[in-house]
């Protein structure tokens, strides 16, 4: 069995973080994996801790959801250390895109027999993200997704928050610049994805891949609430050609301006306001995946 020394970052505030911490420590001990785990009851400063231990560990294990991965991302990109996600959050969209086991302990076992792959990351106004950056309805959803709602309803909290947001959508105008083209759109939701999944299993575009070197944009402007409901299943699956009044593009970068500054979320976290510049970081992140799963990327070195 190959020896490993890993940095374990578990968000104690994640839905299952406190429940699984001791089980993860026991599992790694049984696998002969040495664990560095920052003490303290609060949420650790993940990038700082990763930088401090970079020369003495082989891998970073993040136990939590997409927000926990997002918090660690600057340190991961700076050091180049591989990431293993143990899905302990609510949505776990990156874990889904990587075809990781849904059982946290089964996913954690990949620390010794997983394969390394490279995937893309995105950047919005200098802030890195792995899934999607967006504005509009998604921001209202993020504001509604408080900790109590997630703890009580789990992944159903996304459906509840989404229903609340779509019942009173607010339209806005945006100018979108990309290589060779400028668009003017009216929208209630505008999203740009570096990955494939977001929002508890939604797909940014059915053609999107997590290692294709592209950002994928969509903007929706339904005529009515009922049209949005009618198109909901197509939009969730990323089949935008089957929905009405949807603008889609793919490109290595986008610049987006709005008449008034609008809040932008990335991986579910509020990170900046418009105007924004988004860029793809091709195959910038090394991740651990099951040995029989290929993302389409070359094996990471």
pLDDT tens by residue, 212-249? 999 999 999 876 666 666 767 787 788 888 878 899 99
Distance CA 55, CA 58 (A): 8
Q: Where are the alpha helices (DSSP H) in 184-252?
A: 225-230, 232-236
Total residue length of the chain = 301
pLDDT number for residue 1:
39
pLDDT number for residue 299:
46
pLDDT number for residue 296:
42
Q: Is 264 helix (H, G, I), strand (E, B) or coil?
A: strand
Q: Is pLDDT above 50 for 105?
A: yes
Distance CA 41, CA 271 (A): 25
Considering only residues 166 and 72, tell me which one the structure prediction assigns the higher pLDDT: 72
pLDDT number for residue 167:
58
Q: Work out the angle between the directed axes of helices 156-166 and 137-144 (0-180°, nearest 10).
A: 130
**Whose CA is closest to 288, among 152, 95, 45?**
95
pLDDT number for residue 297:
42
CATH homologous superfamily of 4-113: Probable inorganic polyphosphate/atp-NAD kinase; domain 1 (3.40.50.10330)
Percent of the chain with pLDDT over 70: 81
C-beta atoms surrounding 87 within 10 Å: 28
Q: What is the mean pLDDT of the chain?
A: 86
Stated as kind and residue range, the H or E segment containing 5 is strand 4-10
pLDDT tens by residue, 126-171? 999 999 999 998 777 666 665 565 556 555 666 666 656 555 667 8
Residues linked to residue 218 through DSSP beta bridges, in sequence order: 191, 248
CA distances from 67 to 9, 13, 116, 129, 177 (A): 12, 11, 22, 10, 28
Q: Where are the domains of the chain?
A: 4-113, 127-281
Structure-token match 């209630």, residue found: 188
pLDDT number for residue 128:
98
Average of per-residue pLDDT across 172-192? 96
Average of per-residue pLDDT across 24-40? 90
C-beta atoms surrounding 261 within 10 Å: 12
Cis peptide bond prior to 275, omega within 30° of 0: yes
Q: Is pLDDT above 80 for 41?
A: no
pLDDT number for residue 224:
66
pLDDT tens by residue, 12-22? 766 677 788 98
Q: Which CATH architecture describes the domain 127-281?
A: Sandwich (2.60)
Q: Is pLDDT above 70 for 298?
A: no
Same fold, 4-113 and 127-281: no
pLDDT number for residue 241:
82
Q: Is pLDDT above 90 for 58?
A: yes
Q: Is pLDDT above 90 for 266?
A: yes
Distance CA 220, CA 216 (A): 14
């Amino acid at each position: 069995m190959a020896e490993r020394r890993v940095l374990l970052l578990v968000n104690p505030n994640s839905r299952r973080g406190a429940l699984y911490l001791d089980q993860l420590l026991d599992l790694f001990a049984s696998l002969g994996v040495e664990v560095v785990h920052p003490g303290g009851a609060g949420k650790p400063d993940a990038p700082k801790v990763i930088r401090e231990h970079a020369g003495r560990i082989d891998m970073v294990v993040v136990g939590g959801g997409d927000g926990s991965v997002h918090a660690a991302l600057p340190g991961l990109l700076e050091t180049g250390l591989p990431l293993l996600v143990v899905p302990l959050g609510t949505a776990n969209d990156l874990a889904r895109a990587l075809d990781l086991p849904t059982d946290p302990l089964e996913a954690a076992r990949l620390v010794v027999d997983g394969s390394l792959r490279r995937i893309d990351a995105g950047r919005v106004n200098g802030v890195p993200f792995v899934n999607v950056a967006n504005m509009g309805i998604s921001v209202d959803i993020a504001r509604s997704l408080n900790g109590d709602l997630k703890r009580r309803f789990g992944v159903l909290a996304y459906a509840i928050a989404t229903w609340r947001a779509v019942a009173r959508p607010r339209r806005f105008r945006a100018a979108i610049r990309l290589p060779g083209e400028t668009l003017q759109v009216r929208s209630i939701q505008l999203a740009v994805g570096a990955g494939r999944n977001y929002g508890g299993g939604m797909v940014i575009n059915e053609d999107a891949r997590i290692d294709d070197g592209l950002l994928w944009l969509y903007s929706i402007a339904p005529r009515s609430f009922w049209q949005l409901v009618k198109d909901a299943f197509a939009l969730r699956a990323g089949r935008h050609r089957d929905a009405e009044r949807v603008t889609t593009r793919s490109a290595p970068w986008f610049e987006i301006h709005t008449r008034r500054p609008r809040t932008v979320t990335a991986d579910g976290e509020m990170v900046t306001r418009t105007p924004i510049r988004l860029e793809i970081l091709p195959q910038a992140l090394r991740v651990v995946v099951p040995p029989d799963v290929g993302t389409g990327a070359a094996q990471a070195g």
